[in-house]
Amino acid sequence: MAAGIKDKVAILGMGCSKFGERWGCGAEELMVEAFDEAMADAGIDVSQLDAAWFSTHYEEINVGKGGLPLSTALRLPNIAVTRVENFCASGSEAFRGAVYAVASGAADIALAVGVEKLKDTGYGGLPGNLGGTLNPQWAANGSAPGNFAQLASAYRAKHGVNRDDLKRAIAHISVKSHDNGARNPKAHLRKPITEEQAINAPLIAEPLGLFDCCGVSDGAAAAIVTTPEIARSLGKEHIVSVKALQLALSNGSESGHNGWDGSYFHTTRIAAAKAYKEAGISKPREQVSMFECHDCFSITELVTMEDLQLSPQGGAITDVMDGFYDAEGAIPCQIDGGLKCFGHPIGASGIRMLYEMYLQLSDRAGERQLASPSIGMTHNLGGAPSSNVAAVCIVGAYD
Partner 1 sequence: MAGVTAIGTYVPRLRLLRTAIVEAHKWADPGLAAKARGARSMCNWDEDAITMAVEAARQVVDTCAPQALYLASTTAPFADRQNAGIVSTALNLPEDLATLDIGASQRAGTGALIQALAASGAYDSSLVIASDHRRTKAASPGELNYGDGAVAVVVGNDNTLLDCLATHTTSVDFIDHFRGAGEAFDYDWEERWIRDEGIARIIPPAVGRALDKAGIAAADVAHFIMPCTIRGGAAMVASQAGIPGDAVADNLAEHVGETGTAHPLMMLSARLPQISADEIVVVVGVGQGCDVLVLRAMPALAQHPHRATFAHACAHRVEEGNYQKFLAFNDLVTLERGMRAERDDYKTALTVNYRKRDMLTGLVGGRCSHCGTQQFPRTDVCVNPQCRATHTQQPQPFREARASILTWSADYLTYTADPPSHYGMISFAEGGRFMTDFTDVAVGEIDVGMPVRMVFRIKSFDRSRGFVRYFWKAVPERGEER
Q: Supply the residues annotated as catalytic.
A: 88, 344
Asked if 162 touches partner 1 (CB under 8 A), the answer is: no
The residue range among 111-119, 152-160, 273-281, 283-291 that interacts with partner 1, by the rule CB under 8 A, is 152-160
Q: Which amino acid is at 110?
A: A
Nearer to partner 1 by Cβ, of 47 and 258: the residue is 258
Q: How far is the CB of 381 from partner 1 (least distance, A)?
A: 17
Minimum Å gap between C-beta 101 and partner 1 is 32
Is the separation of the CB atoms in 261 and 154 below 8 Å? Answer: yes
Q: Is 130 in the site for partner 1 (CB under 8 A)?
A: yes
Q: Decide: 310 and 287 in contact? Cβ < 8 Å.
A: no
State the first-to-last Cα distance of the chain, in angstroms, to the nearest integer: 24
Query: Contacts with partner 1: how many residues (CB under 8 A)?
Result: 46
Measured distance CA(221)–CA(112) in Å, rounded: 8
Q: Does 60 bind partner 1 (CB under 8 A)?
A: no
Per-residue DSSP letters for 210-266? GGGB----BEEEEEEEE-HHHHHHTT--S-EEEEEEEEEE--SHHHHSTT--SSS-H
Taking the complex as a whole, the smallest distance from the CB of residue 165 to partner 1 amounts, in Å, to 16
- Piece in contact with partner 1 (CB under 8 A), picked from 74-82, 120-128, 191-199, 324-332: 120-128
Residues in the chain: 399
Contact 390, 379 (CB under 8 A): yes
Residue 78 makes contact with partner 1 by CB under 8 A:
no
Q: Using CB under 8 A, which of 145, 228, 337, 343 touches partner 1?
A: 145
Instruction: Look at residues 390, 389, 383, 309 and name the one whose alpha carbon lies nearest to residue 139.
Output: 383
- The residue within the footprint of partner 1, chosen from 45, 258, 282, 399 (CB under 8 A), is 258
The answer to the question of residue 323 lying near partner 1 (CB under 8 A) is no
Q: At what angle do helices 163-181 and 144-159 cross, to 10 degrees?
A: 130
Binding positions for partner 1, 212-251, rule CB under 8 A = 251
Q: Which residues bind partner 1 (CB under 8 A)?
A: 121-123, 125, 127-128, 130, 133-134, 136-143, 145-147, 149-154, 156-157, 202-206, 208, 251-253, 255-259, 261-262, 385-386
